Amino acid sequence: MTTNEKIVNFFKDRFPLEKFFILDLLAHKEVPVHKLTFGYYTGGLTLLFFMIQVVTGIILLFYYEPTISDANLSVEYLANFIKGGFFIHNLHTWSSSLMIFFGITHFLMTFAMKSFEKPREFTWITGLLLLGITFTLGFTGYLLPWNQIAVNATKVGLQSVQSVGQLLPGPLAQIPKTIVSTFQGGDEVGQPTLSRFYVLHIAFLPLAVLILISVHLLLVQLHGMSQGVDKPSLKVEKFFPEFILKDLMAWTLVVGGVLVLALCLPFEAFLPYPLLEPFNALGPTPGGIKPEWYFYFVYYPLELLPFPVLVVLSMIIIGILVLSPWIFRKTSRKILTIIAAIMASYLFIITVFGQQIYSYLKP
């Protein structure tokens, strides 16, 4: 026995990983190769950004103070006086946007590739929940710097949820109000709101993501990659090591990109400076309050469509998405791809040109 083998055996005896059936699955898992193969990378990239969020988020906790008198100053202090503070904070903000971007891409690709098909219904539903939680993480994290845009965007967001109550019949009408006051913790957005959003953002929601991601990934491993195209491709590659290596290569490129952004382009530079001032409860709301870009797809319709229409519409869309595995059971991938492309174009147009569309329709 060579020394090499001795060392390997030493660890094999101590960590009998072969008993762990997932490894066995991984060893046999295969990834179909076809024109949509890049879709298989999107989930991994979302996971990468979640990991970046967890790490940078924990590091930020060293300085962040969740009180309405100190929150804004602690973020300012971090960015101005702590070595690397600006970088970590900026990385956290950029990577939150990218996590949502890749989450949405993953969702669209999964839809187009009909990966929700039996027996993967629960993978799909946990995925939708994860996407929802990711948006909520974005929303709750947005409040934490306690500046004008943060607090006012939160007010508008919570008030929108509360307005749904007017449209619900009888006893249901109280539900949105109860939900909002639970999160708001008082008549107005204030210290209780900050405390609640804080605990949601740093403990509750990340834990929920962790649990759901475990289920989601377990299911992905158990079922293997879905075929992705209507005519099953004959070409496959091994998940381990080929796909995983390519996945890591993609991660390397994306990490390079986000590091450049985090070092060189302050995320806040895109906002007018009056919105970055600490929130002033006694003054007027400054102009130009808008949610973060990833909410534009509901924000601009909210501005342009009558509220009840929007609520009914979004209920229907959410319903369709949740029930997709059953509704689109017999639909071909070609049609699903077209639907996904329509969704993608809608998201792209409303996110990039929303403001122009808005000022055109409502001068």
Partner 1 sequence: MKKTINILSFIVSVNILTTQSVFAFPQFEKFVAEHSGKPVNCAMCHANDAGPIGNDPGQLGSLTKAEMEKVNLARLALKPGQKVDSPILNKFGNHIIESIGTEKFTQLLAKPEDLAKELGNQSDLDKDGIPDAQEYLDGTDPLNKLNGDPSKLFVINVQRNAWLLIYMAVSLYFIYFGLTNILKYYKLNKG
Partner 2 sequence: MNEETDNKNNTIDRRLFVNGIVSLFGGVMFLSFGTVIQLYNYFFGSKLSKKEKVNYLKTNIERMQSQANQSRLALERVENDYILVSSYADLSSTTGVYFIDYDMRPALAFLGDNGLPNLLSAKCTHLGCTVGNEVNDGTILCPCHISYFNVQTGIPNPGSPAKLPLPKLNWVIKDKQNKIIAARGADGKIVGTTDKALLQDTNVYIAKA
Tell me which of partner 2, partner 1, none is bound by residue 249, counting a contact when its beta carbon lies within the kind-specific cut-off of 5 to 8 angstroms.
partner 1
Q: Note whether 122 and 219 are within 8 A (CB).
A: yes
Does the footprint of partner 1 cover residue 234 (CB under 8 A)? no
Task: Between 174 and 280, name the residue whose CB sits nearer to partner 1.
Answer: 280
Of 12-20, 84-92, 309-317, 321-329, the segment contacting partner 2 by CB under 8 A is 84-92
How many residues lie near partner 2 (CB under 8 A)? 37
Q: Note whether 149 and 271 are within 8 A (CB).
A: yes
Of 8-16, 216-224, 276-284, 317-325, the segment contacting partner 2 by CB under 8 A is 276-284
Tell me which of partner 2, partner 1, none is bound by residue 265, counting a contact when its beta carbon lies within the kind-specific cut-off of 5 to 8 angstroms.
partner 1
Give the one residue of 121, 242, 268, 303 binding partner 2; rule: CB under 8 A.
303
CA dihedral 192, 129, 24, 113 (to 10 degrees): -150
Among residues 218, 179, 183, the alpha carbon closest in space to that of 204 is found at 183
Whether the ω angle into residue 301 lies within 30 degrees of 0, i.e. cis, is no
Among residues 147, 184, 144, the alpha carbon closest in space to that of 57 is found at 144
Query: How many CB atoms lie under 10 A from the CB of residue 101?
Result: 17
Does the footprint of partner 1 cover residue 265 (CB under 8 A)? yes
Q: How many Å separate Cα 348 from the centre of its chain?
A: 16
Does the footprint of partner 1 cover residue 51 (CB under 8 A)? no
Q: What letter represents residue 349's amino acid?
A: I
Q: What letter represents residue 129's amino acid?
A: L
Give the one residue of 34, 54, 87, 344 binding partner 2; rule: CB under 8 A.
87
Locate 44 and state its tokens.
Answer: 């991994």
Does the footprint of partner 1 cover residue 363 (CB under 8 A)? no
Does the footprint of partner 2 cover residue 163 (CB under 8 A)? yes
Bridge partners, 236 (sequence order): 32
Kind and range of the H or E run holding 31: strand 30-32
Task: Between 200 and 275, name the residue whose CB sits nearer to partner 1.
Answer: 275
CA angle in degrees (0–180, nearest 5) for 241-247-249: 100
Residue window 52-71: x/- pattern of binding to partner 2, with contact defined by CB under 8 A: -------x--x-----xxx-
Question: Minimum distance between the CB of residue 71 and partner 2, rounded to whole angstroms?
Answer: 9
Task: Between 149 and 343, name the residue whose CB sits nearer to partner 1.
Answer: 149
Give the one residue of 136, 286, 301, 321 binding partner 2; rule: CB under 8 A.
286
Kind and range of the H or E run holding 7: helix 3-14
Give the one residue of 34, 177, 223, 246 binding partner 1; rule: CB under 8 A.
246
Task: Between 18 and 277, name the residue whose CB sits nearer to partner 1.
Answer: 277
CA dihedral 271, 274, 276, 278 (to 10 degrees): -170
Give the one residue of 84, 232, 288, 308 binding partner 1; rule: CB under 8 A.
288
Does the footprint of partner 2 cover residue 14 (CB under 8 A)? no
Give the β-pairing of 236-238 and 30-32: antiparallel
Give the one residue of 25, 167, 236, 259 binding partner 1; rule: CB under 8 A.
259
Give the one residue of 5, 18, 24, 188 binding partner 2; rule: CB under 8 A.
188
Q: Which residues contact 62 (CB under 8 A, 6 or more apart)?
A: none
Question: Minimum distance between the CB of residue 266 and partner 1, rounded to whole angstroms?
Answer: 4
Cβ contacts of 308-316, under 8 Å, gap ≥ 24: 308/167, 311/164, 311/167
Does the footprint of partner 1 cover residue 255 (CB under 8 A)? yes
Backbone angles phi, psi at 183, to 5 degrees: -75, -35
Locate 204 and state its tokens.
Answer: 């509750």
Please report, as ranges, the residues that interact with partner 2 according to CB under 8 A. Answer: 59, 62, 68-70, 72-73, 77, 81-85, 87-88, 152, 155-156, 158-160, 163, 187-188, 278, 280-289, 303, 362
Please report, as ranges, the residues that interact with partner 1 according to CB under 8 A. Answer: 79-80, 86, 238, 241-242, 245-246, 248-249, 252-253, 255-256, 259-260, 263-266, 268-277, 280, 283, 286-288
